[in-house]
A and B are shown apart, each in its own frame.
Chain A
Amino acid sequence: MRDVSIIGVGQIPVAEHWDKSIREMGYLALSAAMRNAKVTVLDALYVGNMLSGELARQEHLGALIADFSGLRGVEAVKIEAACASGGAAMRMGYMAVASGLCNFVAVMGVEKMTDQQGPDITAGLAMAADGDYEALHGLSFVSINALLMRRYMHEYGYTKGDFANFAINAHANGVGNPNAMFRAPITFKAFSEAKSVADPINLLDSSPIADGAACAILAPTAIASEFSDKPIRVRASSIATDTVSLHDRREPLWLEAAALSASRAYDMAGVRASDISFFELHDAFTIMSALSLEAAGFAARGHGVRMAQDGSIGRTGKLPITTMGGLKARGHPVGATGMYQIAEVALQLREEAGPNQIANASLGMAQNIGGSGATVVTTILERIK
């Protein structure tokens, strides 16, 4: 197996891009990444996307974006794993380069959500859940996370306000990210008074619906320095799965796939959780941040929320998270999110994160979660010095 590195990244701002189609957004991120990597040809393009058929009325994104980007003829397919589609595309690209079958692979996440109305988007997102036994009963994706949050508060004795710092920290970091959707801080008061979406989850627990596209170019590490002054080595890449529905889980409050995916990644990289300098986690909802911190081994069960309360997660804390705003403030264009996380980890490791730069970042981890924890992709990246 060959060692793999990221030789370029590209992204467009997360926003409501009413003036851009899904193919244009894909092209903009891809061309930016290819310029950044100084490559003009690719062996393959993997497009992570969840809802293009439902919300953008367009499938067949691999060929569509390849052609629109002037890459007609290239191998190109769409990869789908709900909200983990972007991370899953990264994993497919990693395997393609590591196996020796491909040298230059673009891995992209792209999502166009804002062409549709609220209830249709809500119904689309519910497709990440079990169609016959969750969505059929009127459960929104938010409400499934709300069931987790309520149970977590009940079992471990937290109040809703205890989760506030996840959102406050994400918004504080969004301020310094030019690609973030929300670039204004929020207060505890605003968090406490935000409108309920699915009790106990309110608007400020939740990441926003958005359009976006982000991309990375992968190549064998052996030739990476010919293309990039600061190649980023992929130390680990893993996917694990769990039951799609919450009711089928052994323990709903334990994200088994996140734990499995993280432990496989640690094994592959030969590191432990304590070696990770910063963590781009999947804060689709504040409860997911807590559960992800616990499953990845940064906090004991029931203690994830305490890391938000004691300042551990800030940019100068012991484990900075959502350093560019996370899903909450950067925005959550679902199938694109996993690749925004990868691009952001790469920027931190290249020391190109601007005002959000973390000191001494050497090993960064991203974790992209599909559904309420059914598909979890973990990626560990390192700056080659």
Chain B
Amino acid sequence: MEVSRFWRTTKQRYQLIGEVCGHCGTKIFPPRDVCPSCDLEAKTPFEFGGKGEVFSYSTIHQAPAGFEKYVPYTVALVKLEEGPLITAQLTDVDECDVKIGMPVEMVTRALREDGERGMLIYSYKFRPVMESKSI
């Protein structure tokens, strides 16, 4: 992955920063500058809470180049609490336990190692919501 491309999308990948439309209030992720609901310009940053539920999922057995050594891994569409769907990997869960509707939360994990540069690419992934322990 190109260093500039990596740098360009850091905010989105580390903090789930999208946008909120100043005209109609729609929460937008990934950021896209023009609101998909009202087609007006939307450039106000908005940090998503990172909570949502599994909308659909798939376990990959034949991976694209760069991901071969992680097979099998599970990817999902996650419906964020604030509205938008996001595409991401699931982590800390056995594929057999994944269900549509399962509550998940965002964590930051290594996505893959870039072969040529040895650079680790970090990003959001989602894991099942842990029960909070009472003290």
Chain A interfacial positions (CB closer than 8 Å to B)? 118-120, 122-123, 126, 130, 132-140, 142-143, 146-148, 150-151, 154, 195-201, 243, 245-249, 252
- The answer to whether A197 and B61 touch across the interface, beta carbons within 8 angstroms, is yes
Q: List 25 A-B contacts (CB under 8 A).
A: A119-B68, A123-B64, A132-B5, A132-B30, A133-B86, A134-B87, A135-B64, A136-B121, A136-B123, A137-B89, A138-B112, A140-B60, A143-B58, A150-B57, A151-B77, A195-B61, A197-B61, A198-B58, A199-B58, A199-B59, A201-B58, A243-B36, A247-B84, A248-B85, A252-B85
Of A119, A148, A247, most B-chain CB atoms within 10 Å: A247
Q: Measured between alpha carbons, how far is A377 from B121 in the docked complex, in Å?
A: 37
- The answer to whether B64 and A140 touch across the interface, beta carbons within 8 angstroms, is yes
Question: In the assembled complex, how far is the CB of residue A245 from the closest CB belonging to chain B, in whole angstroms?
Answer: 7
- The answer to whether A154 and B56 touch across the interface, beta carbons within 8 angstroms, is yes
- The answer to whether A138 and B60 touch across the interface, beta carbons within 8 angstroms, is yes
Further 18 A-B residue pairs, CB within 8 A, beyond A122-B62, A199-B58: A119-B65, A122-B65, A130-B87, A136-B111, A136-B123, A137-B75, A142-B60, A143-B60, A147-B57, A147-B75, A195-B61, A196-B59, A198-B59, A198-B61, A198-B62, A243-B36, A245-B87, A248-B36
Interface: B46 (CB within 8 A): no
> Which residues of the partner chain B approach A154 to less than 8 Å between Cβ atoms?
56, 100
> Which residues of the partner chain A approach B1 to less than 8 Å between Cβ atoms?
136
- The answer to whether B62 and A197 touch across the interface, beta carbons within 8 angstroms, is yes
Tell whether A147 pairs with B58 under 8 Å between CB atoms, given A139-B87, A247-B85.
Answer: yes
Interface: B73 (CB within 8 A): yes
> Which residues of the partner chain A approach B88 to less than 8 Å between Cβ atoms?
137
Question: In the assembled complex, how far is the CB of residue B117 from the closest CB belonging to chain A, in whole angstroms?
Answer: 15
Question: In the assembled complex, how far is the CB of residue B15 from the closest CB belonging to chain A, in whole angstroms?
Answer: 15
- The answer to whether A150 and B58 touch across the interface, beta carbons within 8 angstroms, is yes
> Which residues of the partner chain A approach B66 to less than 8 Å between Cβ atoms?
119, 123, 138
Partner of A198, one of B60, B85, B89, B123: B60
Interface: B44 (CB within 8 A): no
- The answer to whether A147 and B76 touch across the interface, beta carbons within 8 angstroms, is yes
- The answer to whether A138 and B111 touch across the interface, beta carbons within 8 angstroms, is yes
> Which residues of the partner chain B approach A243 to less than 8 Å between Cβ atoms?
36
- The answer to whether A118 and B62 touch across the interface, beta carbons within 8 angstroms, is yes
Count, chain B residues at interface, CB 8 A? 37
- The answer to whether A122 and B64 touch across the interface, beta carbons within 8 angstroms, is yes
Chain B interfacial positions (CB closer than 8 Å to A)? 1, 5, 9, 30, 32, 36, 55-68, 70, 73, 75-77, 84-89, 95, 100, 111-112, 121, 123
Partner of B123, one of A137, A143, A151, A245: A137
- The answer to whether A138 and B56 touch across the interface, beta carbons within 8 angstroms, is no
Please name the 6 residue pairs, one residue from A and one from B, whose CB atoms are nearest each other, closest first.
Answer: A146-B58, A123-B64, A151-B56, A247-B85, A119-B65, A123-B65
Question: In the assembled complex, how far is the CB of residue B6 from the closest CB belonging to chain A, in whole angstroms?
Answer: 10
Partner of A147, one of B62, B77, B84: B77
Partner of B56, one of A136, A147, A201: A147
Question: In the assembled complex, how far is the CB of residue A93 from the closest CB belonging to chain B, in whole angstroms?
Answer: 32
Q: Measured between alpha carbons, how far is A200 from B36 in the docked complex, in Å?
A: 30
> Which residues of the partner chain A approach B123 to less than 8 Å between Cβ atoms?
136-137
> Which residues of the partner chain B approach A148 to less than 8 Å between Cβ atoms?
56
Q: Measured between alpha carbons, how far is A249 from B89 in the docked complex, in Å?
A: 19
Q: Measured between alpha carbons, how far is A136 from B9 in the docked complex, in Å?
A: 11
> Which residues of the partner chain B approach A140 to less than 8 Å between Cβ atoms?
60, 62-64
Closest residue on chain B to residue A132 by CB atoms: B9
- The answer to whether A133 and B87 touch across the interface, beta carbons within 8 angstroms, is yes
Q: Measured between alpha carbons, how far is A136 from B62 in the docked complex, in Å?
A: 15
Q: Measured between alpha carbons, how far is A17 from B55 in the docked complex, in Å?
A: 41
- The answer to whether B87 and A200 touch across the interface, beta carbons within 8 angstroms, is no
> Which residues of the partner chain B approach A200 to less than 8 Å between Cβ atoms?
58
> Which residues of the partner chain B approach A201 to less than 8 Å between Cβ atoms?
58
- The answer to whether A199 and B61 touch across the interface, beta carbons within 8 angstroms, is yes
Q: Measured between alpha carbons, how far is A199 from B95 in the docked complex, in Å?
A: 10
- The answer to whether A247 and B77 touch across the interface, beta carbons within 8 angstroms, is yes
Q: Measured between alpha carbons, how far is A247 from B112 in the docked complex, in Å?
A: 22
Closest residue on chain B to residue A135 by CB atoms: B64
Q: Measured between alpha carbons, how far is A118 from B65 in the docked complex, in Å?
A: 8
Q: Measured between alpha carbons, how far is A135 from B5 in the docked complex, in Å?
A: 13
Question: In the assembled complex, how far is the CB of residue A122 from the closest CB belonging to chain B, in whole angstroms?
Answer: 4
Q: Measured between alpha carbons, how far is A135 from B95 in the docked complex, in Å?
A: 20
Q: Measured between alpha carbons, how far is A140 from B111 in the docked complex, in Å?
A: 14
